[in-house]
Structure 1
């Protein structure tokens, strides 16, 4: 087995809400179209969110590879902000407060940043328990959270981007480095070549 730990992170294909720039958290919306993709990795198992957009993306990118969908890997629950745009919400004082300080202000009826952070980091600690490569098809918020914690260079969640059709790869020389919460020793971003089939 390869020495150290490698984690590959892929954001799901776009949904209609993504195109319309809406906050989409736990809403189970499908991807806009099926695609095929060329990737430099060949996982034997894929972990991801249990929501449709991640399952469908994994099926497009890695047909015939076993997919394990987990609720713990969902996007943040945006509560009352769900499926609304900035333009629709910008006059609400609670929304402006959340934009300014998402670490201490939570969406009404939604998930606090601390709760989101705890569940995502906890499930990664549960899954990555030995050396090797791990592949995840997840949401933008999950990738941003992981990159802000482990990426190079390290930066705040608010200043971290997670693009569609990009393969984010993080590598640690030793499992103990990852388990200890240290930043990865190697980091790369590679575009994913996609062919639209519809």
Structure 2
């Protein structure tokens, strides 16, 4: 089977540089062309299932993609939610990055060793829910092409669990493909951002 992992489209909090874990914000207008390009890129794949985090930004992204896949239902799972930033939710990113080195911080979240931010979730709990959820999706769909729309840290955490170094991060609306067979799991096409078509110029 193949997992087509998509990070949600750019949001207003992304544009404003605010921490966005369990909190939410609407999709940004300037991110919609990229979302349409990603949806068109995936239109030729015969998806057999579609999953998303229940956050508004992920379900809105998934529904745009599924416009090209008539009748395919969208299922949500809390295990696909983003890491919780606790009391820092929706706060400007410098409030966190002024306290911790972001590379060290996110590395400790991804490997499950960070104790958790005030009011947030311990990284060990986060790692367990992310890896457990993806394992359950794979067991549920042993064949076919499955769409999973989730969040930047969550997707990088899963890829790190598979042995991929995801320190470079994943762009909004990027597509990463994971191929799973009886013998191996291969991470393919990491973070591919489909090009936005350039409007044709007419005389």
Q: CA deviation at 1:28?
A: 2.8
Deviations 1:79-132 (A, max 9, x none): 012112232344547x99856844233110101111111011111112211233
Equivalents in 2 of 1:85, 1:193: separation in Å?
Answer: 29
Alpha carbons 2:48, 2:146 under 8 Å: kept? no
TM-score, reference length from structure 1: 0.78
Aligned residue in 2 for 1:23: 19
- Which structure 1 segments of 5+ residues have no match? 178-183
- Residues 71/186 of structure 1: CA separation in 2 closer, same or farther (3 Å cut): closer
Q: CA deviation at 1:48?
A: 0.8
- Residues 109/193 of structure 1: CA separation in 2 closer, same or farther (3 Å cut): same
Aligned residue in 1 for 2:5: 9
Runs of 4+ in 1 over 3 A off after TM superposition: 89-93, 95-102
Indicate whether 1:69 and 2:90 are aligned: no
- Residues 100/56 of structure 1: CA separation in 2 closer, same or farther (3 Å cut): closer
- Residues 117/160 of structure 1: CA separation in 2 closer, same or farther (3 Å cut): farther
Write 1 or 2 for the structure with the bigger share of strand: 1
Q: Secondary structure in 2 aligned to 1:39?
A: helix
Residue range with higher mean Cα deviation, 47-56 or 78-87:
78-87
Write 1 or 2 for the structure with the bigger share of helix: 2
How many residue pairs match? The answer is 180
- Cα RMSD between the aligned structures? 2.7
Aligned residue in 1 for 2:54: 50
Alpha carbons 1:98, 1:106 under 8 Å: kept? no
Alpha carbons 1:147, 1:160 under 8 Å: kept? no
Q: CA deviation at 1:43?
A: 1.4
* 2:160 alignment partner, one of 144, 148, 153: 148
Equivalents in 1 of 2:114, 2:81: separation in Å?
Answer: 20
- Residues 45/80 of structure 1: CA separation in 2 closer, same or farther (3 Å cut): same
Equivalents in 2 of 1:73, 1:99: separation in Å?
Answer: 17
Equivalents in 1 of 2:187, 2:80: separation in Å?
Answer: 23
Indicate whether 1:188 and 2:189 are aligned: yes
Deviations 1:123-180 (A, max 9, x none): 11122112332210111111111111125xx32x6x2412112210011332x64xxx
Aligned residue in 1 for 2:149: 137
Aligned residue in 1 for 2:85: 78
